[in-house]
Structure 1
Amino acid sequence: MTNANAVSLRDGIQIELTTGETVVIDATKPAGDIVVLSHAHGDHLYTQAPTDVICSNLTARLASARREDEGLVSRTTHPAVTQVPAGHVPGSRATIIEDPNGTTYLHTGDFSTRNRFTLDGFDAEAVATTYDIDVLITETTYGKPDYVFADQAVLERRIVDWLNESYDTPVILFGYTLGRAQELELLVSRSDRERLFVTDAIRKLNAIIEESHDVAFDAEHYDRDTTLGAGDVLVLPAQTNKLSFVDHIVENTGAVKAGFSGWAIEDAFKYRGEYHETFVLSDHCDFSELIATVDTLHPDRVYTQHGFADEFATHLESEFDIVARSLKKNQSSLDQF
């Protein structure tokens, strides 16, 4: 029997099992009996390292590299917990939790069902074949019908074609240090561009990912003595796009700034980021893929988080015979929603 009050949003997602154990997922200061980490993006990563954590080996290595002051992550397992590829970024995992009372929970974490670059997408059909998911806890970053993306091959081709067509101009591509940066590097390798530069932070993660995946990024280190010219590409962390050193590069080389996101469907993304060019490229499911995932898993109850959580929950309740609620911090009872 499903406990309607078992799932809450506090410091991370918390799930109270009938054993008395608390599962804590993606907490900044994990304080549960069973600690889970979905992936190593900063907004899901701890600030205070847990003693033992359930995560992929690659996520453990990436987390340790990104939280060097906290030391190495110690991985563990638990008989009630299974992880499967989430398809979001290298090392990302969705988490299946089987409570002894018969309730099975699935926490997707950030996820994508598309096979992209070196990643296998989240396979809802495979999960549904093995598990009867009662409670789904899903991210809903693009949980509105406005956000439906073209086929992956089409999105990637647009970017590679643009890199070729603009060959005579140096370009600066902005993406998250983990995931998006590596995708952009691989797209550059498929273009006619000759030199690819990245920062130390990106190179450090590249090296870890190269050891885990059959991939080589072939990027050079960018420093203040590097001069960009025709055929050159510089990949920078997304949060640097408005910094003065970037303006200096643009002014001195005529470089073009390009942003990449599912939010690029909207013109506002281009203007907010002060980009010259923008392209749709996402590590998350679009609306139609979120719907397909719910339809395939057919849970009794859905909790939504991130992005258009309220809107997606409302859509599920009106279109599917499913109880759906968006998670609100520190609410633990359904009648509080």
Structure 2
Amino acid sequence: MNSDISVQLRDGIEITLSTGEQIVLDGAKEDLTPVVSHAHGDHIVDGTTEIVASNLTAALTSVRQDHNIKSSSNPAVTLHDAGHIAGSRAIEITDQESEITYLYTGDYSTRDRFYLSGFDPIDADILITETTYGKPEYTFPPTKEVVREINDWLEATMDEVVILFGYALGRAQKLQRILAGSCRNTIYVTDAVADLNDVITSYCDVQFPAKRYSTETTLEEGDALVLPMQTSRLAWIESLIEKHDAITAGFSGWAVDDSFIYRRGLDRGFVLSDHCDYSELVDVVESVDPDQIYTYHGFSEEFATHLATEMGYSAQALKQNQSTLSDF
């Protein structure tokens, strides 16, 4: 690889092209407009006012940060559907001078599900892939099978109030779509989730038939309440569960582990993920067939080792403030 080119993990991922131009992905650097894959909080820095991203990601981030964020472009950057959440994009970068192409996946899923199209891999010389579930034990069942299991549970608990925990942006919307096709009576969401629903429906052909939950709301048997995952341990949520003798469930790829429900204090867990599982990560690598692979997040070391020792790729896990291959 050209010695003038580098890939670094700093505040986000920084790529230095052969021209010296720097591009920062899902992070921040002074005087640079960041390229943002999606609107989850760990991928964008507070106070950002302009991003290279999909219009929907800019709109969702504006709501989450409570100020206007402008969507712009970069001639070196092409955005592709990532299949993670609404508005998410994988990022293709073309170095015009060296003609080297980069593919930064951001968080992604190759599965078509609900209102999302899965990520369709493209050719690239250098692949930078997330590896949240980069170990073989994290292989997920088909989404239709999981949805069927969830619906069976929703029907079996019709004489109960159920509380479903999922990320406010992404999982919460998918849970609402599942609930809309189920036997449950009324679906409720918090204002935080409802505000994101409104943005998504203005950009996508999808509806979320949920009502806003408030402290004045009376939950009845057969009702369902969708809450952000991070609220599950809050005192008022625990009081709400106790008041209604509600049954709780969480939805995540981590539900593969039996310990998931115990760590979260839940009654049920379902393997519903917005990421690639292990086998899908491998499939993407084989489809892209890059000359160099960088892994980050989750089981990055384990996945890079597998790619290098078992599949013959040049692969390295990105580490903070390391860059070219000579630094590894």
TM-score, reference length from structure 2: 0.97
CA contact (8 A) 1:161 1:191 kept: no
When the two chains are superposed, the root-mean-square deviation of aligned CA atoms in Å is: 1.3
Q: Could you report, residue by residue, the CA deviation over 1:29-81 in whole angstroms, capped at 9, with x for unpaired residues?
A: 3435452000000111221214x32100100000111111xx31122222211
Matched, 1:207 2:225: no
**Which residue of 2 is the match for residue 264 of structure 1?**
255
Amino acid in structure 2 at the alignment position of 1:110: D
Matched, 1:162 2:153: yes
Q: What aligned pairs does 1:165-314 form with structure 2 within 5 A after superposition?
A: 165-314=156-305
CA contact (8 A) 1:4 1:333 kept: no
Shift of 1:4: 8.2
CA distance in structure 2 between the aligned counterparts of 1:4 and 1:325, rounded to whole angstroms: 18
CA contact (8 A) 1:250 1:256 kept: yes
Selected match of 1:147 from 124, 138, 152? 138
Q: Secondary structure at the match of 1:206?
A: helix
Q: What aligned pairs does 1:70-149 form with structure 2 within 5 A after superposition?
A: 71-100=67-96, 101-124=98-121, 127-128=122-123, 133-149=124-140
Shift of 1:205: 0.2
Q: 1:3 to 1:189 in 2, by over 3 A?
A: farther
CA distance in structure 1 between the aligned counterparts of 2:108 and 2:61, rounded to whole angstroms: 18
Shift of 1:155: 1.0
CA distance in structure 1 between the aligned counterparts of 2:250 and 2:218, rounded to whole angstroms: 21
**Which residue of 1 is the match for residue 36 of structure 2?**
37
CA distance in structure 1 between the aligned counterparts of 2:168 and 2:241, rounded to whole angstroms: 21
Matched, 1:63 2:61: yes
Q: Could you report, residue by residue, the CA deviation over 1:205-249 in whole angstroms, capped at 9, with x for unpaired residues?
A: 000001111111111111112122211000001000011111111
Q: Secondary structure at the match of 1:155?
A: helix
Q: 1:5 to 1:268 in 2, by over 3 A?
A: farther
Identity %: 50
Q: Secondary structure at the match of 1:325?
A: strand
Structure 1: which 5+ runs fail to align? none
CA contact (8 A) 2:293 2:315 kept: yes
Matched, 1:322 2:313: yes
Matched, 1:26 2:26: yes
Structure 2: which 5+ runs fail to align? none
Q: Secondary structure at the match of 1:209?
A: helix
Q: Secondary structure at the match of 2:174?
A: helix
CA distance in structure 2 between the aligned counterparts of 1:34 and 1:249, rounded to whole angstroms: 43
CA contact (8 A) 2:84 2:109 kept: yes
Shift of 1:160: 1.3
Q: Secondary structure at the match of 2:15?
A: strand
CA distance in structure 1 between the aligned counterparts of 2:10 and 2:215, rounded to whole angstroms: 43
**Which residue of 2 is the match for residue 48 of structure 1?**
47
CA distance in structure 1 between the aligned counterparts of 2:320 and 2:113, rounded to whole angstroms: 33
CA contact (8 A) 2:8 2:323 kept: yes
CA contact (8 A) 1:5 1:334 kept: no
CA contact (8 A) 2:252 2:271 kept: yes
CA distance in structure 2 between the aligned counterparts of 1:318 and 1:298, rounded to whole angstroms: 16
| Count of aligned residue pairs for this structure pair | 327
Amino acid in structure 2 at the alignment position of 1:35: P
CA distance in structure 2 between the aligned counterparts of 1:312 and 1:104, rounded to whole angstroms: 22
Shift of 1:336: 2.7
CA contact (8 A) 1:21 1:34 kept: no
Shift of 1:5: 5.3
Shift of 1:334: 2.1
Q: 1:243 to 1:79 in 2, by over 3 A?
A: same
Q: 1:267 to 1:256 in 2, by over 3 A?
A: same
CA distance in structure 2 between the aligned counterparts of 1:228 and 1:44, rounded to whole angstroms: 35
Amino acid in structure 2 at the alignment position of 1:67: Q
CA contact (8 A) 2:38 2:57 kept: yes
Q: 1:37 to 1:186 in 2, by over 3 A?
A: same
Matched, 1:15 2:15: yes
